């Protein structure tokens, strides 16, 4: 445990698995937290009686009491403590109980990502801080209302003393009552809206997405999510100043509100990022709406400088139900991944999350023109390298992985199966591919040799999509021959480009064979 100081965040960590408990303790101590860890809910609760804590991170399955009960009891002692529930397994009822009974800020399943749990902890602390301020504000408001009510009572007593003042005092009381109601409505609105744009705020969005996801799952309705980011907004802010930037965000929000239905929900997620929930809209409808909105922003003239100017946006789209989307967190993460792809493939585009990977709306290709040129240049350089065939294939796959992976931790798989003259596979080189897929790649390689065309197949264990691309030497001649199959675990949109790469690779393979 780190030495405490006055401003240090105090955390309780509870998990009956020593390894997980130690990992969490070290992780949060590295972030500067003061951490006390326990393997029993009862011990943790006794400690909570002795001292005030800022956040509790608890496993669901614990001795003596489960994580939800523990968080309930601790919140009775410290109402504004942030809380995160962690569990290895959990059904829908567990999730519902966590949020309705335990009032947890977030729910995470094992195994968890270290960076993700730190980010969630920060959001939970921030959410509880906002709740504390809001409750304090509400208490202050109650006192003012109480005082106003007292004054109203006193004024009513004055009304009984003289008929002449009755009408005048009555009208004044009604006006004050109207103002109080108006202020209450305004305060309620301010608690859920963003002060600059007038859209819903991040905190309210987190509540709504949980509610909408539970409803969609219960009634088997589609639920789509858009993550929207203004392209190069930081440059615009630095160039024209924050006042112009704020004006653009406000005007942009008006376009967004005019582009969605009344039942839809738009919120400012943070900075220049926005999020939209589309109940009962499937993936096709969400993609159409997103593309229409993107075009509306691109064509709109924004003012605030000497000359009107245009801005562009990038949008990531995800929809439940989908095979890899099980929770509201999955839905949001999928939209964020698609947004990341849109930002890193040229911006000003809509990218949709599917079980077969991220796809740009309108048949957009995975790589930009600049990325294609760079990749072709790098592949061509392989022709001049004096290396063996196995090293050649590994270098090629690693370079291909750098270009096509959506994120550094992407689970995309790449492999090459070389084919002998008799049509039988004889060499297998892979990057990121485990043994579970080798036999399936081998079986489908024979289909590619027969057809000499790009072939799609699904893995048997988890339905992962593979594109199998023939590597052909001397295409279009009498000596044309398939010498290998390139496998990538995604659906390839730009088929002509990947064929060109494969043909260039075939030349490099022939050269390496001659050297051997």
Strands (E) in 336-423, as ranges, are: 350-354, 357-360, 414-419
Using CA atoms, how far apart are residues 186 and 190, in angstroms rounded to an integer?
6
Establish whether 115 is a catalytic residue: no
Angle between the N-to-C axes of helices 114-161 and 18-30, in degrees from 0 to 180, rounded to the nearest 10? 70
Tell me whether strands 481-488 and 465-473 are parallel, antiparallel or unpaired: antiparallel
Using CA atoms, how far apart are residues 470 and 189, in angstroms rounded to an integer?
60
What are the tokens at 315?
Answer: 């949008």
Using CA atoms, how far apart are residues 433 and 384, in angstroms rounded to an integer?
28
- Quick one: which of 4, 1, 3 has its CA closest to 13? 1
Using CA atoms, how far apart are residues 205 and 202, in angstroms rounded to an integer?
5
Using CA atoms, how far apart are residues 455 and 462, in angstroms rounded to an integer?
18
Between the alpha carbon of residue 442 and those of residues 44, 424, 426, 452, 454, the distances in Å are 54, 9, 10, 15, 15
Residues 69, 212, 251, 272: which is the catalytic one? 272
Between the alpha carbon of residue 344 and those of residues 105, 231, 338, 400, the distances in Å are 32, 11, 10, 16
In our burial notation (b when 16+ CB lie closer than 10 A, e otherwise), range 190-214 reads ebebbeebebbbbbbbbebbbebbb
Q: Which residues contact 274 (CB under 8 A, 6 or more apart)?
A: 199, 227, 228, 229, 253, 256, 266, 267, 268
- Point out the residues that are catalytic: 272
């Amino acid at each position: 445990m780190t030495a405490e100081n006055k401003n240090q965040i105090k955390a309780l960590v509870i998990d009956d698995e020593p390894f997980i408990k130690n990992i969490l303790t070290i992780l949060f101590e590295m972030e500067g937290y003061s951490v006390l860890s326990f393997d029993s809910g009862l011990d943790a609760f006794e400690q909570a009686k002795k001292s005030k804590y800022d956040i509790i991170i608890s496993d669901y399955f614990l001795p003596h009491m489960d994580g939800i009960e523990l968080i309930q009891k601790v919140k009775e002692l410290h109402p504004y403590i942030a809380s995160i529930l962690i569990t290895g397994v959990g059904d829908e009822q567990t999730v519902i109980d966590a949020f309705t009974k335990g009032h947890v800020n977030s729910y995470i399943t094992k195994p968890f990502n270290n960076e993700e749990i730190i980010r969630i902890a920060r959001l939970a602390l921030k959410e509880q801080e906002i709740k504390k301020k809001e409750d304090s504000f509400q208490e202050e408001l109650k006192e003012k209302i109480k005082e106003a009510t007292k004054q109203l009572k006193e004024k009513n007593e004055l009304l009984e003393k003289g008929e002449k003042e009755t009408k005048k005092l009555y009208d004044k009381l009604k006006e004050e009552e109207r103002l109080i109601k108006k202020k209450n409505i305004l305060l309620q609105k301010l608690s859920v809206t963003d002060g600059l744009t007038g859209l819903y705020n991040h905190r309210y969005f987190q509540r709504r997405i949980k509610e909408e996801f539970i409803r969609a799952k219960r009634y088997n309705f589609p639920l789509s999510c858009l993550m929207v980011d203004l392209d190069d907004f930081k440059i615009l802010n630095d160039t024209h100043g924050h006042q112009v930037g704020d004006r653009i965000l406000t005007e942009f929000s008006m376009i967004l509100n005019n582009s969605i239905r009344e039942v839809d929900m738009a919120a400012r997620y943070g900075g220049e990022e926005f999020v939209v929930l589309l109940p009962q809209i499937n993936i096709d409808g969400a993609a159409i709406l997103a593309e229409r909105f993107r075009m509306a922003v691109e064509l709109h003239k924004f003012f605030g400088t000497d000359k009107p100017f245009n801005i562009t946006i990038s949008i990531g789209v995800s929809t439940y139900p989908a095979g890899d989307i099980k929770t509201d967190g999955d839905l949001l993460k999928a939209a964020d991944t698609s947004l990341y792809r849109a930002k890193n493939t040229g911006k000003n585009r809509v990218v949709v999350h599917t079980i077969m990977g991220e796809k740009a709306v309108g048949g957009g290709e995975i790589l930009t023109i600049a990325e294609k040129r760079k990749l072709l240049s790098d592949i061509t350089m392989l022709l001049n390298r004096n290396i063996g065939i196995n090293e050649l294939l590994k270098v090629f796959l690693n370079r291909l992985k750098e270009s096509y992976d959506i994120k550094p931790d992407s689970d995309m798989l790449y492999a090459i199966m070389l084919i002998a003259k008799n049509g039988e596979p004889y060499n297998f080189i892979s990057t990121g591919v485990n043994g579970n897929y080798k036999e399936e790649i081998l079986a489908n390689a024979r289909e590619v040799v027969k057809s000499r065309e790009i072939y799609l197949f699904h893995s048997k264990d988890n339905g992962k999509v593979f594109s199998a691309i023939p590597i052909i030497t001397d295409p279009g001649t009498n000596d044309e021959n398939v010498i290998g199959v390139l496998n990538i675990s995604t659906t390839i949109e730009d088929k002509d480009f990947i064929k060109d790469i494969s043909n260039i690779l075939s030349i490099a393979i022939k050269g390496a064979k001659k050297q051997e």
